[in-house]
């Protein structure tokens, strides 16, 4: 879950009272502004359908992927270090064959990482199809490029280190850059799904539970905070520099903590008012 936030932020202790219908509920006047808000919330809820169940069902697979991906990255790094040692210790005649075989071994490891990553992307709930499809597309492009290089190695295409360096440069410039950007955008899109879900959870409390006016006001401020965060994250998706995007995304993650703090304050205030009511029936 993005930002390290509890998925149950909208159901903190103090927000769990059963629904008690008000004596009289008045439908707000259907002004153009109210109609727009009603439409926006309907769109939010449409986007949120099945979100929570999908996230819960994907928890183990997500954890397994992250753990496995970390292990595979360590294995790739270990292979690179091993290759450097072998190349450094090789005599001149053996240096080129060892370099080529090491390059292929590292590419084989990366190809497996991409295969696992692709499976993870396809099953990942939360992001929109636009960003899932983009991530899969660039993943497949890099996989095809790596496969082509490995076939070239097997056919004896490369005869010197300069040719290998050029292939490495092309992989980074033409393919790895794109998949990194696509994966960052995927994370942002997923975070937007979480923020939408949290806003809906809070709106359910605000509109369907009998809460005191100060608590309702605090919840409304929190929802406004989340809406602002959503707009800022949407703007990030227009960036095409991955390093700058990651820096900006981290800043937005930090900003969202203020929204979460506001939600917790609303829950604490609700509990405080409930306790006061119980002591003074």
Task: Name the band, by pLDDT with cuts 50, 70 and 90, for residue 28.
Answer: low
Return the minimum-mean-pLDDT range out of 13-22, 213-222, 249-258, 262-271: 13-22
The owner of tokens 């009511």 is 277
Contact 154, 103 (CB under 8 A): no
The residue that leads in pLDDT, 9 or 90, is 90
pLDDT, averaged across the chain: 86
Q: What per-residue confidence (pLDDT) applies to 55?
A: 92
Count other Cβ atoms within 10 Å, centred on residue 57: 13
pLDDT surpasses 60 at 165: yes
pLDDT surpasses 80 at 121: yes
Determine the Cα–Cα distance for residues 21 and 43; give it in Å rounded to an integer. 25
pLDDT surpasses 80 at 260: yes
| Mean pLDDT within 135-142 | 97
Q: Which helix (H) or strand (E) holds 64?
A: helix 59-89
- Tokens in use for 207? 């509109």
Task: Name the band, by pLDDT with cuts 50, 70 and 90, for residue 226.
Answer: very high
Count other Cβ atoms within 10 Å, centred on residue 200: 19
> Mind listing the pLDDT tens digit for each residue in 59-77?
999 999 999 999 999 998 9
Task: Name the band, by pLDDT with cuts 50, 70 and 90, for residue 27.
Answer: low
Task: Name the band, by pLDDT with cuts 50, 70 and 90, for residue 107.
Answer: very high
Return the minimum-mean-pLDDT range out of 54-68, 75-89, 204-218: 204-218
């Amino acid at each position: 879950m993005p930002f390290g936030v509890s998925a149950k932020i909208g159901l903190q202790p103090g927000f769990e009272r059963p629904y008690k219908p008000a004596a009289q509920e008045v439908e707000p006047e259907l002004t153009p502004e109210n109609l727009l808000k009603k439409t926006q919330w309907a769109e939010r809820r449409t986007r949120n359908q099945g979100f929570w169940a999908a996230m819960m069902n994907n928890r183990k697979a997500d954890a397994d992927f992250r753990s496995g991906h970390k292990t595979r990255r360590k294995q790739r790094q270990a292979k690179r270090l091993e290759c450097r040692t072998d190349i450094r210790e090789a005599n001149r005649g053996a240096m080129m064959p060892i370099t080529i075989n090491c390059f292929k071994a590292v590419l084989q490891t990366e190809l497996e990482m991409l295969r696992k990553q692709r499976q993870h992307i396809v099953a990942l709930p939360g992001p929109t199809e636009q960003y899932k499809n983009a991530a899969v597309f660039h993943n497949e492009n890099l996989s095809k490029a790596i496969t082509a290089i490995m076939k070239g190695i097997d056919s004896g295409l490369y005869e010197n280190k300069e040719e290998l360096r050029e292939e490495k440069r092309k992989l980074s410039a033409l393919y790895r850059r794109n998949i990194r950007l696509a994966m960052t955008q995927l994370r942002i899109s997923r975070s937007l799904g979480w923020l939408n879900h949290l806003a809906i959870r809070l709106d359910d409390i605000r509109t369907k539970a009998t809460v005191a006016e100060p608590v309702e006001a605090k919840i409304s401020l929190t929802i406004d905070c989340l809406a602002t965060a959503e707009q800022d994250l949407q703007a990030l998706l227009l960036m095409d520099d991955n390093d700058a995007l990651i820096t900006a995304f981290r800043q937005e993650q930090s900003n969202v903590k203020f929204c979460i703090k506001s939600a917790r304050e609303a829950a604490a205030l609700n509990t405080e008012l409930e306790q006061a009511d119980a002591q003074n029936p």
